[in-house]
Structure 1
């Protein structure tokens, strides 16, 4: 019993999760982007669904049709004659060929969609394209017959924009109402008129010419893209323009070449002037350099002379200083020698005197007798050379004064001999004295 319950529950769940989605999918159908779903009911009513979305349909009670809402691109190749006239008003048509691409699509209103479903999409696809090509080509031929050659080749026409109607021309609004609904149609017409005025004249004429035929098929005209407009006149003008452009380019190139040559000549002239000025400057600088070098040599000669004079002066000063130093040294040496001799002589004399005082008169006389052979010639020579003049003023007689003078000379010679020959000095040294000079009495 329990197993049967589980089976029933499983069957119910399978029905719920399997049958219900199928039923919902049968009642709700997907409408893809770029498509339109038309659902017709038994009572004759039609509901239009625009994708992306879902459409409500009941099997056996409704009939659904899917239409494409994508744009349709139609290529046009139109050959016809323009409406040109000459100055006298005589027609002079020009054969032209226009290659264009027109874009149409299904209308936005439900009425246009129903018309397109019944009149356009009911045909096979090749017939659809052929119908649109014939319709747009005929409208293009009529447009070409209404335009001149220059209008076809003009970029855009710019007619004066039409102004909105004056406010006074609008119906007066009753109190409590707004003027926006009244102005909306006028604004829409103004925008449409501005779009037409800004478009190419061929596209404007084709749009106006085929609007009714497209509306009868449930379609609307979106745009016309003119790819190429060909004609013999245009080709001749193109060649003429190319020749003129080439001529202008050659003229410009020639002018540029001439200007470049003039600029080059001017630059060469300026360079030549600069080079000449540079050479002159170099020559002037060379002369200045030569003068400066001569002055430099003179200055060097004067400097060398001055250095030589300074060297000689310095040498002379050095020699004089050296002579002065040598003389000073010699004088100092001589003075030292004299001082040394004088000191030695004085010391000798002092020591002789001391020896004499220590030895007594007997020692002195002994030394005199010992040196008599040496003293006698000296005394005789001294007496021979002496010129004695005796003046007695102390009460003594002339003989006594003369004898005293002779004794003085003998004593002086004796003392000198004792000192110079070392006789007395040697004896004094032996007795502890170092003097070699005797006092004169």
Structure 2
């Protein structure tokens, strides 16, 4: 039984007691923390995490501080160091919104100082201390810079000599803190490319931060506000807007010019196309006109040929008809002449058969018709002396009248006797009896 108890005690000691003893001697140092272990004789050993720290509960005292960076937001409002042309101060009120980053120093001395002077305060006091320190340094930096230098990161500032800061504590007056060459070289390396405000703030607050065991890492200036800057910003915005509008107007004008040029080219091409079409149409119309003219000439020739053929046919027909009519008329005239001759022969034969008595009888019947004409002619006649063949004028006149009467009688006998009608020939009308005109002047013939 005793052996079991001893074994249990040994196991318990190995499982629980030994780890507790080891944990009390070897403590964990987390990442982002620094462990300060002070021994009884006054020495201090610093352990940076992550790692282990050697401690003896009765002989050492340990303190853990944070090695992480501290971010401090700054809102600084002050006036610049601007001067007018006459050298009279013309300060400009500016407001700066920035963010500063500080951290614990790298050396053991700075770590001990930070543990004693900074991390011994509460978190609120730590933040207020850093804010006041950095804000005061920022105000002094603003008072040393002009307005243009604040808004130009590449302008080399003309920095006035900073007044030597007064020691804030008795401890700061008694001891001086050594700055390691590596940190100083790093600060000088970035000063050439850093913002003038950040450079001045770094220089102004480096001693105060060193007194607290901290170092200045960087300053991020978020916004620099001022009425002048706002006016310039509005002016720049207006100029940029005007330039943008000018560029847009130029681009629009160029686009419009390009469009007009394209439209002009298209119009020229269309005009050339229309001219080509018009020329082709004119050529086609000219060819069509020539074709129509040729067709017209052909039609005229065909019409002329047709008309000539028709005219020739008509002329031939008319000639044939005229010839036929002439032949028919000649035959008719010959027939009529033959009939008249035959009728005259028959009349003469009838007269010869009837004797002189019939002829006399007919002369007496025609006297009422002939006598007025003869009387009128003799009444209008003047003295006419006719001498022929030894006969007197009375005999000649009587013979002429007798011949006329015989001719008229023969014609009337033919017309009335129906000698010609019996042969199918139309009757011939008797000619009107007219006496020859009597000359106005007497003519004597021998």
Q: TM-score, normalised by structure 1?
A: 0.57
Partner residue in 2 for 1:28: 26
Aligned mate of 1:38, from 26, 36, 39: 36
Give 1:227's match in structure 2, choosing from 218, 222, 228: 222
From 114, 117, 128, the equivalent of 2:115 is 117
Are the counterparts in 2 of residues 98 and 228 from structure 1 also a CA contact under 8 Å?
A: yes
TM-aligned CA distance change 1:291 to 1:57, over 3 Å? farther
1:99 CA drift (Å): 0.5
Matched, 1:17 2:15: yes
Q: CA RMSD in A?
A: 2.7
Uncovered stretches (5+) of structure 2, i.e. residues with no partner? 158-179, 291-446
CA 33–292 in structure 1, closer or farther in 2 if over 3 Å, else same: farther
> Is contact 2:39-2:59 (8 Å) kept?
yes
Change (3 A) 1:33 1:240: same
Counterpart residue number, 2:210: 215
Q: List per-residue Cα deviations over 1:1-25 (Å, max 9, x = no partner).
A: xx54344223312212321111111
Q: 1:71 to 1:192 in 2, by over 3 A?
A: closer
* Aligned-pair CA distance for 1:80: 0.6
Aligned to 1:246: 241
- CA drift at 1:262: 1.9
Question: Do the aligned residues in 2 keep the contact of 1:78 with 1:140 (CA within 8 Å)?
Answer: yes
Q: For residue 256 of structure 2, what is the aligned residue in structure 1?
A: 261
Cα 1:195/1:137, change in 2 over 3 Å: same
Contact 2:81 2:142 in 1 (8 A): yes
Paired with 2:278 and 2:215, the residues of 1 have a C-alpha distance of: 92
1:281 aligns with 2:281: no
**CA pair 84-4 structure 1, distance change in 2 beyond 3 A:** same
1:198 aligned onto 2:196 = no
SS of 1:87's equivalent in the other structure is coil
Is 1:94–2:92 an aligned residue pair? yes
Matching of residue 157 in structure 1 with residue 119 in structure 2: no
Pairing 1:135–2:133 present = yes
Q: Distance in 2 between matches of 1:157 and 1:27?
A: 57
Q: Cα offset for 1:89?
A: 1.2
Give 1:108 deviation, angstroms.
0.7
Whether the 8 Å CA contact 1:104–1:222 is kept in 2: the answer is yes
Offset at residue 194 of structure 1 (A): 3.2
Aligned to 1:50: 48
Distance 2:283 2:9 in 1: 126
CA deviation string 1:62-119 (max 9, x = no partner): 1111101111111111111111111121111111000101111111111111111111
CA deviation map 1:169-223 (0-9, x unaligned): xxxxxxxxxxxxxxx96x9866643311110000000000000001001111010
Change (3 A) 1:194 1:7: closer
C-alpha distance in 2 between matches for 1:63 and 1:243 = 67
- What is the CA distance between 1:261 and its match in structure 2? 2.2
Superimposed CA distance per residue, residues 26-76 of structure 1 (whole angstroms, 9 cap, x where no aligned partner): 111100000011111111111110000111111121111110111111111
CA distance in 1, matches of 2:37, 2:287: 116
Contact 2:156–2:196 at 8 Å: present in 1 too?
A: no
The answer as to whether partners of 1:74 and 1:103 remain within 8 angstroms in 2 is yes
1:111-165 CA-to-partner distances (Å, cap 9, x unmatched) read 1111111111111111111111110000000000000000000033369xxxxxx
Which residue in the other structure is 1:308 paired with? none
Find the aligned partners of 1:283 and 1:250 in 2 and give their Cα distance: 47
Q: Distance in 2 between matches of 1:51 and 1:245?
A: 54
- The 1:261/1:190 distance shift into structure 2, 3 A limit, reads same
User: How much does 1:283 deviate?
Assistant: 4.1
d(CA) in 1 for partners of 2:221 and 2:267?
A: 62
Deviation at 1:249, TM superposition (A): 1.8
1:198 counterpart SS class: coil
Match of 1:269, SS state, is helix
TM-score by length of 2: 0.56
Partner Cα distance (1:292, 1:110) in 2: 115
Instruction: Give distance in 1, aligned partners of 2:107 and 2:222.
Output: 31
Q: 3-state DSSP class of the match of 1:11?
A: helix
